[in-house]
Structure 1
Amino acid sequence: MSRVVVVGGSDQGRQTIDVLESAGTHTVVGVLDAALHPGTVVSGHPVVEPDDLARIGADAFIVAVGDNAVRARLVAEVRAQHPDLELVSAWHPAAVVARDARVGAGVTLMAGAVVSNGCVVGEGVLMGTGSSVDHDCTVGDYASLAPGARTGGNVSIGPFTAVGLGASVVHKVAIGAHSVIGAGAVVLTDVPDHVVAYGVPASVVRTRDEGEPYLTRRRGR
């Protein structure tokens, strides 16, 4: 059983710790988060510093950050600084993964997430509560599906693309890389790279730069 340090101690970090502990496949030994003081407790686990990893016996890590580009950057940083740590995944026991699906490292599947037959899910993908990809879909590295987002079969979602809360994507649609699909959108036609699209039916509303933030917080939070 791997001894995992969770990188990220905010909302996604707490959720990921819960997934890991519910699954019982890894032991969480600490949290890395430069924004939190060492010794702060996150879901029962202490925030540690990078120099503490050998002391606590960490041999694996997972990045628990909602933003796709930030998640990828942190994975690259940890790999460069701690090449001995293995990148592991967190699958909630209530997630469903078909026997012939292929799922990369560093993937987080929240409760109720479904990866159906013939799907290929890349490295570092985040699938929120109740999200699903139907048969023969491809989800690129560091893409994400927010809670309740769903696709039909034979859908392609490009690397670093975010599919928003409750969005729906119909059968055989291709969504490009580094794009954002807004909450509640219904995607009926292909969506290119580097755009923001939303609405019913979804339409492109503007272009988008790689790494542009797309997650927002309410004031005071």
Structure 2
Amino acid sequence: MKEKLLIIGASGHGKVVADIAKKINKWKDIVFLDDDENIKFSMGVKVIGKSVDLYKYLNEYDFIVGIGSNTIREEIQLKLEAAKASIASLIHPTAVIGEQVKLSNGTVVMAGAVINCCTKLGKGCIVNTGATVDHDNIIEDYVHISPGTHLAGSVKVGKGTWLGIGSIVSNNINIISGCKVGAGAVVVNDITETGTYIGIPARRV
């Protein structure tokens, strides 16, 4: 771990990441990179350049990608990995993390989230505000679990899937990679075909 943190992305999700980083209080300095030249400060944190400038700061900073899009987050994190950057994971102080939970690099756990025992989260995931992930879940890389989403026990969520706000996934469910589950949807059967799913029970549209 380094003494400074660089967050890539200074907009909505990046602001929340910065707020967590401030509350963790591990880093002496926190800065942003963002491609919008009009943003000079965000959350009182200075924007020091664009995302292409990340290579200048590899020796000084830990990195985290503060971008909500799963696809863009993956693209940037892969660049960081290729450059052998130090990639952080952030956990809000009010989150509850069970025993034998594994969080991989680049994953962020927001305020009030609960991750119960023996769950594994891949790289670059988001467990958003007030979401719950119960025991023995396997959450693959670059999954976004939106605010107020609830996953029961022994759920597997494939890479790059987005679970919309307030969605619910019943126990022992497998969801294939690259899916979108709409707000408030309830998943009670395995999702084996990539697509967008909405409703109660969730159906492909």
| TM-score normalised according to structure 1 size | 0.85
Superposition map of 1:41-80 within 5 A:
41-49=41-49, 50=53, 53-54=56-57, 58-80=60-82
Q: Which stretch of the first structure deviates more once superposed, 29-38 or 60-69?
A: 29-38
Q: Which residues in structure 2 correspond to 1:77-96 (within 5 Å)?
A: 77-80=79-82, 83-96=83-96
1:27–1:190 CA distance, 2 compared to 1 (3 A): farther
2:16 is aligned to: 15
- Report SS of the residue matched to 1:142: coil
Distance of aligned partners of 1:30 and 1:52 in 2 relative to their CA distance in 1, 3 Å threshold? farther
Contact 2:150–2:166 under 8 Å retained in 1? yes
Q: What is the alpha-carbon root mean square deviation over aligned residues?
A: 1.8
Percent of aligned positions that are identical: 29
What amino acid sits opposite 1:127 in the alignment? V
Cα 1:77/1:35, change in 2 over 3 Å:
farther
Unpaired segments ≥5 residues, structure 2? none
For 1:121-200, what aligned pairs fall within 5 Å after superposition?
121-200=121-200
* Unaligned segments of structure 1, at least 5 residues: 206-221
**Separation in structure 2 between the aligned mates of residue 84 and residue 27 of structure 1, nearest angstrom:** 22
Q: 1:36 to 1:127 in 2, by over 3 A?
A: farther
Where in structure 2 are the equivalents of 1:207-218 lying within 5 Å? none
What CA distance in whole angstroms lies between the structure 1 residues aligned with 2:106 and 2:196?
26
Task: Provide the C-alpha distance between the structure 2 equivalents of 1:53 and 1:27, rounded to a whole number of angstroms.
Answer: 19
- Offset at 1:59? 2.1
- Point out the more displaced range, 44-53 or 193-202: 44-53
CA distance in 1, matches of 2:28, 2:92: 14
Query: Displacement of 1:84 after TM fit?
Result: 4.7
User: CA distance change for structure 1 residues 185 and 13 in 2, over 3 Å: closer, same or farther?
Assistant: same
Given that 2:80 and 2:87 are in contact with CA atoms closer than 8 Å, whether structure 1 keeps it comes out as no
- TM-score normalized by the length of structure 2: 0.92
What is the SS of the residue equivalent to 1:70?
helix
Aligned equivalents of 2:164 and 2:31: distance in 1?
Answer: 30
CA contact (8 A) 2:144 2:163 kept: yes
